[in-house]
Amino acid sequence: MRRNPYAQSVSFGPGPLTPAVQALIIANVAMFVVTAVAPRLSIYLGLTPAAVFGDLWLWQAATYAFLHLDLMHLVFNMLALWMFGVELERLWGTQRFATYYAVCGVGAALTTLVASLLPFDATSSIYLTITMGASGAIYGLLLAWAKYFPSRQVLMFFVFPVPARIFVIIMGAMALWFAATSSGSGVAHATHLGGLVAGWLYLHGRGSGGGGLVAEIKYRYLKWKMGRMRRNFEVVSGGRSRWDGKH
């Protein structure tokens, strides 16, 4: 048989797992098994604003991202992690990818905590609700993937093919709308939105040449501190202070 040189091959997904993506999938699956055996752990490891603010269970801002409500929740998140994360890790390297994933996950948690304090019907229920899942970090990966591969086709609702840049805009708009309007839906829309915002801030900080979001925060803090120091010391022309006869 002769091979047709004009035939096109169709592939699904980005290929084999990369180190960080593989480690994250293993950790998520392992935690799913552990919490299935000991479900009470979800109370201590899931993100509950009342526990963070009241009992200072600060670790929940990181551990919640490794817990999932059920098998379908886990499967869909891990599938998205593989599809969007592998190419980003190949592009960035393992260390930067892992840092970005952590920033998006924790940023999504902080957004959830802030939203739980807002005096609106759509957000007040968050305060006593346990949030679980890697969705916040996954939304951050989606944003970065759309930034580097804006013309790639993504199946919206597994039916409609749209460019990645349009897909992420639609998903962000939906997250914002549902976070502001829906109450008690069981979906952490504020967390999804927080992952997008944290990812954008991180990428924007690196793109500005400042070395990332942390460096940008340090720069802003130093600028603010220098401004306060200038206000505390009045500089007089000629190096002499004025004498007005008063003590």
The residues annotated as belonging to the active site are 135, 192
Query: What span, in angstroms and rounded, lies between the C-alpha atoms of 238 and 230?
Result: 17
Of residues 148, 141, 190, the one with CA closest to residue 165: 148
Query: In whole angstroms, what is the distance from residue 238 CA to residue 126 CA?
Result: 60
Report whether 123 contacts 115 (CB < 8 A).
yes
Q: How many CB atoms lie within 10 A of CB 67?
A: 24
DSSP per position, 61-88: HHHGGG--SSHHHHHHHHHHHHHHHHHH
- Helix, coil or strand: residue 151: coil
- The rounded distance, in Å, linking the Cα atoms of 244 and 171 is 65
Question: CB count, 10 Å around CB of 55?
Answer: 11
Q: Which amino acid is at 192?
A: H
- 3-class SS at 160? strand
Of 8, 207, 2, residue with least CA distance to 100: 207
Instruction: Kindly give the interhelix angle for 135-148 and 164-181, rounded to the nearest 10 degrees.
Output: 150
